Amino acid sequence: MNRVEVSTVTYLPAEDVYEFLLAFRGYADYSEHLRTVEQFGDGDAGTEYVLRFEWWKLHYTARSEVTEVERPRRIEWRLIKDVDASGRWLVEQLDDGDGETPPETRVTFVAEYAPGSADDGIVDLPRFVSLGWVLERIKPKIRSEAERIVRRVVADLEGEKRDVSLRIETG
């Protein structure tokens, strides 16, 4: 399994961060390649999403499901079609703040995926283009998309853009 993990600190209570992340429909605004998100459910475990992606000459629709939630700490998800992939949002209160300084909450996005689990039929590829070629070009996109999403989530949560220090791990 390949893995990408991106985390940073935001200056809000964990409960606010968690509720914001649970409202997944807004994610299309954070991603360069995610065009639309349709939600079927209330955001809790069992909720399904239809995600429409576009990149280069490719169009792909993924289906994901929230598999488990632990308020206000964790939202687990998995893809339910085509590719073996899963992940989570982790929310950890670091400091409650003291009235003069805001609370600090670490937010972490984790995605784990098995590139070899995708078969050639999941996207309509242009002639002479292999799925392996596409997958090699998508790997760096996954990391940059995760970074972009976390930066934009922090800006929306806090109400303004700022330099965001990210911790990024891949493997």
Please list the helix, strand and coil fractions of the chain in percent, rounded to the nearest 5, in that order: 25, 40, 30
In this prediction, residues 28-51 reach a mean pLDDT of 86
Q: What is the pLDDT of residue 2?
A: 81
Is 60 exceeded by the pLDDT of residue 14? yes
Q: Environment class of residue 48 by beta-carbon count within 10 Å: exposed (0-12), middle (13-18) or buried (19+)? A: middle
Answer whether residue 120 is part of any domain: yes
Q: How far is CA 91 from the centre of its chain?
A: 13
For the segment 101-132, what is each residue's pLDDT rounded down to a tens digit? 999 999 998 999 886 665 555 555 555 555 45
Answer whether residue 11 is part of any domain: yes
Alpha carbon distance 1, 115 (integer Å): 8
Answer whether residue 165 is part of any domain: yes
Answer whether residue 166 is part of any domain: yes
Name the CA radius of gyration of the chain, rounded. 17
pLDDT bucket at 52, cuts 50 / 70 / 90: confident
Stated length of the chain: 171
Q: Which residues of 111-125 are buried (b: 16+ CB within 10 A; e: fewer)?
A: bbbebeebeeebbee
Nearest to 139 by CA among 61, 75, 55, 66: 55
Please count the other Cβ atoms lying within 10 Å of the Cβ belonging to residue 79: 19
The CATH number of residue 160's host domain is 3.30.530
Is 70 exceeded by the pLDDT of residue 82? yes
Q: Domain total for the chain?
A: 1
| Domain containing residue 153 | 2-24+68-170
Q: What is the pLDDT of residue 86?
A: 95
Q: What pTM, to 2 d.p., does this model score?
A: 0.79
For the segment 64-74, what is each residue's pLDDT rounded down to a tens digit? 999 999 999 99
Answer whether residue 54 is part of any domain: no
Is 80 exceeded by the pLDDT of residue 5? yes
For the segment 140-155, what is each residue's pLDDT rounded down to a tens digit? 666 677 777 788 888 8
